[in-house]
């Protein structure tokens, strides 16, 4: 008989009053213990944008997020086709706007 761990079921509830946030830019910073994800909505011809949401997580959970995102992108591309990025936009760099890599 195989020794398998039984994981408790986790019920996740999304509150009706939760406000969804659209983001087309994410700025990621980290310290030795945490990752900070700032989600921003940049509008055309608007020189200023505000952070709409900030998520802070430890390094282990950030890596789990990386794996989960990769799995979801793979499933998306299997269903809808490859997400094609222009060659000059495969990595996004932004000017240093005073962001520091400390959480």
Which pLDDT belongs to residue 90?
56
**Rounded Cα gap, residues 33 and 25, in angstroms:** 23
CA angle (72 as vertex; 68, 76 as ends), nearest 5: 170
The pLDDT tens digits of the residues spanning 30-78 come to 999 999 999 999 998 888 999 999 999 999 999 999 999 999 999 999 9
pTM for this entry: 0.72
For the segment 69-88, the average pLDDT, to the nearest whole number, is 93
Task: Identify the pLDDT of residue 21.
Answer: 92
Enclosing H/E stretch for 34? strand 34-40
Closest C-alpha among 45, 59, 50 to residue 103: 59
pLDDT at 89: 60
């Amino acid at each position: 008989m195989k020794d398998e761990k039984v994981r408790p079921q986790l019920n996740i509830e999304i509150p009706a009053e939760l406000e969804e946030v659209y983001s087309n830019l994410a700025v990621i910073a980290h310290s030795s213990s945490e990752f900070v994800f700032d989600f921003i909505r940049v509008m055309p011809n608007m020189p200023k944008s505000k952070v709409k949401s900030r998520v802070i997580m430890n390094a282990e959970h950030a890596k789990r997020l990386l794996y989960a995102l990769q799995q979801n992108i793979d499933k998306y591309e299997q269903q809808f086709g490859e997400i094609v990025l222009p060659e000059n936009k495969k990595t996004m760099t932004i000017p240093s706007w005073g962001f520091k890599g400390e959480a």
